[in-house]
Amino acid sequence: MNKKEKTEQEIQKTLELLDHMEQLPPDHSFYTRVMARLDEERQRQSVFPAILKPAFLTALIVINLGTAIRHFRGSEATRQTDSQQELIEVLSRDLNLEAYQSNLFTIE
The overall longest dimension of the chain from CA atoms, in Å, is: 106
28-37 in b/e burial notation, b at 16+ Cβ within 10 A?
eeeeeeeeee
Could you tell me the pLDDT band of residue 92, with boundaries at 50, 70 and 90?
confident
pTM above 0.75? no
Amino acid identity, residue 63? Answer: I
Per-residue CA distances from 61 to 74, 94, 100 (Å): 20, 47, 51
- pLDDT 10s digits, 16-66: 888 888 877 878 888 889 999 998 887 776 666 777 888 899 999 999 999
Domain boundaries, the chain: 76-108
Per-residue pLDDT at 96 exceeds 80: no
